[in-house]
Structure 1
């Protein structure tokens, strides 16, 4: 492996880090990874509740290397993959972010909720189908989270388990909303 030199930026960081930056730093805190490895790790963990373009996982590590927050090493032969590792400066940046206040409101970007908001301009049959589909989707996701919880609860990081438990509660709550709405639509109580 050839290690690429990284030139940490002296003093305050040259650019503001974003959520993707912290996802990469957090994932690299678990161990070195290629961009492909990061994509896989994110896919079965934080990707369940933090959506973003996976192409960012290929671009962001290089930017973090330029900032001195990660290092990159390249395979000498073969596919010449880059493997990234977090630096002490990267760990410090992650800790600083974790310690910062988080007053922002939760952002909800749910296409079903958006369609429900404008449902007055559509057909009732489409609304019933929307409610059933969303109920089933949230039930399926909650069931998947529960299965994942059962697989990892005894050995995973306890805070990752707590994150998964919150995901289960959110999905069950939203599933319950849509299930009640289906009942209201089917009994005429929603009219």
Structure 2
């Protein structure tokens, strides 16, 4: 099964959700480390239903709007738990278009390189600021058995990643600035 399937199973293990709710989670909480398009989520929910991993109840909203609220089946919960217990080696390095450009940046003049690096710096700083603002909701480490603990440690990792990337970009800007 795809990682997307397991991510959806994990969300549904917390609470029953509509496809829209799941999509929102991918745009907010999960966006720190995983992304999925609306169309991928709905397609995966259909497959998961066909595979017996989830079930749904139809809720009426307003006068005629029907919403499917998905929940885990016992099969789905067992599959999620098996996957959570797996000890796997780290994956290949994630694709990063900007780093590929920097790899070949010797073909660019220094002012273009610095401009690109400064733009990356600005974007990473914006992301770091957003992550730090999100972290303000945690005055302390949440209990280890709460859903919020996982969010906390992943958020903390995302902050460290952004800080590390900013450090790297600043070094690259420094290298280029020494030669101008």
Instruction: Tell me if both proteins adopt one fold, taking TM over 0.5 as the criterion.
Output: yes
Q: Compute the displacement of 1:121 (Å).
A: 2.7
Structure 2, gaps ≥5 residues long: none
**SS of corresponding position for 2:66:** coil
Q: Compute the displacement of 1:42 (Å).
A: 1.6
Select 1:163's aligned residue among 134, 154, 157.
Answer: 154
Structure 1, gaps ≥5 residues long: 1-16
* Aligned counterpart, 1:23: 7
**SS of corresponding position for 2:137:** helix
Structure number having the greater helix percentage: 2
* Aligned counterpart, 2:33: 49
* Aligned counterpart, 1:37: 21
Moved over 6 A (4+): none
1:51-66 correspondence runs (5 A):
51-66=35-50
| Range moving further from structure 2, 93-102 or 104-113 | 104-113
Distance, in Å, in 1 between the alignment partners of 2:175 and 2:109 is 16
Q: Compute the displacement of 1:32 (Å).
A: 1.0
Matched, 1:72 2:63: no
Select 1:172's aligned residue among 152, 163, 172.
Answer: 163
Matched, 1:89 2:75: yes
Distance, in Å, in 2 between the alignment partners of 1:88 and 1:174 is 41
* Aligned counterpart, 1:11: none
Q: Compute the displacement of 1:175 (Å).
A: 0.6
User: Can you list the C-alpha shifts for 1:113-132, whole angstroms capped at 9, x where unaligned?
Assistant: 12101212333322111111
**SS of corresponding position for 2:55:** strand
**Aligned positions, number:** 173
Matched, 1:187 2:178: yes
**Cα RMSD for the two superposed structures:** 1.9
Distance, in Å, in 2 between the alignment partners of 1:106 and 1:94 is 23
Alignment check: 8 A CA contact 1:70 1:86 kept:
yes
